[in-house]
A = this chain, B = another copy of it.
Amino acid sequence: MAAAPPPESPKPRPTRAEAIAAQLADDIVAGRLKPGAALDEASLAAQFSVSRTPVREALRQLAPTGLVQAVPRRGCVVAVPDAAQLAEMFVVMAELEAMAAAHCAMAMTPHERRGLERQIASMAGMVRAGDVSAYRAANVAFHHLIYAGAHNGYLTEIATATRRRLAPFRAAQLEAPDRMRKSHEEHVAIVTAIQRGDAAGAAAALRAHIGVTERTWIAMAGSRRPDAA
């Protein structure tokens, strides 16, 4: 009778539009649909073997999430945030995750803390093995453990949304040499702070973690000055 963490499961059976929206979102987040790509209703309809109607509804659902940009009579394109917007989102995400980490430090249950330890141990193995793709997936899971530990569904919601929106621009982040190892060390620092109940330390560690990520991205994005905020 334990309440499910998201107390609402409004998805007894997804409708076509929802399935298409989920698929498109996934394609965008995974980078299969590149920022700026035009989303033609007719083509998508043909591609999914449905009429334009569900495709339109899917796009209209995606627009408020920020994954696609809709201009009233000119169709939709995959969102292309400029450098300043990305910087803003990184700043906010750092704060959101810091908030979650602080909360974790104070309120995580023993069971959740064990889960965190297990995740860290598992990821340590991936680092040793150099398995970047496994590490990438585990990284998402790790951050979701932090969200869950904060026991705040709304925080989880907006942090997840922010992370998704930034995902296309962080895809290659772990490719940078030695980044995976550094990332893991930062994770360890975060978990250590959480485990000893150091809320401020956990928040700071997470801010630093995201901050480094942002800098890494800026370095890879080219040679623009990294003070866009």
Give chain A's interface residues, CB within 8 Å of chain B.
Answer: 3, 7-8, 10-15, 17-18, 56-57, 60-61, 63-65, 69-73, 82, 84-85, 88-89, 91-92, 95, 99, 103, 106-107, 150-155, 158, 162, 217-218, 221-222, 229
Contact of A88 among B70, B89, B154 (CB under 8 A): B154
- In the complex, the chain B residue whose C-beta lies closest to that of A81 is B154
Residues of B within 8 A of A11 (CB): 72
Cα distance A217–B35 when bound, in Å? Answer: 38
A12-B72, A13-B72, A14-B72 are contacts. A103–B221 as well, Cβ < 8 Å?
Answer: yes
Not counting A7-B82, A88-B153, a sample of 5 additional A-B residue pairs whose C-beta atoms are within 8 angstroms of each other reads A10-B71, A12-B71, A14-B72, A92-B158, A158-B158
Determine the main DSSP class of A at the interface with B.
helix
Pairwise interchain contact B221-A150, C-beta atoms closer than 8 A = yes
Residues of B within 8 A of A72 (CB): 10-15, 18
- In the complex, the chain B residue whose C-beta lies closest to that of A218 is B106
Contact of A89 among B154, B217, B229 (CB under 8 A): B154
A106 to chain B, nearest CB (A): 5
A95 to chain B, nearest CB (A): 5
Cα distance A73–B218 when bound, in Å? Answer: 45
Q: List 8 A-B contacts (CB under 8 A).
A: A12-B71, A14-B72, A15-B72, A60-B61, A88-B153, A91-B152, A91-B155, A151-B221
A197 to chain B, nearest CB (A): 11
Residues of B within 8 A of A229 (CB): 151-152
Residues of B within 8 A of A17 (CB): 60
Residues of B within 8 A of A217 (CB): 103
A10-B71, A15-B72, A60-B17 are contacts. A92–B152 as well, Cβ < 8 Å?
Answer: yes
Residues of B within 8 A of A88 (CB): 152-155
Residues of B within 8 A of A92 (CB): 99, 152, 154-155, 158
A33 to chain B, nearest CB (A): 19
Pairwise interchain contact B95-A99, C-beta atoms closer than 8 A = yes
A145 to chain B, nearest CB (A): 15
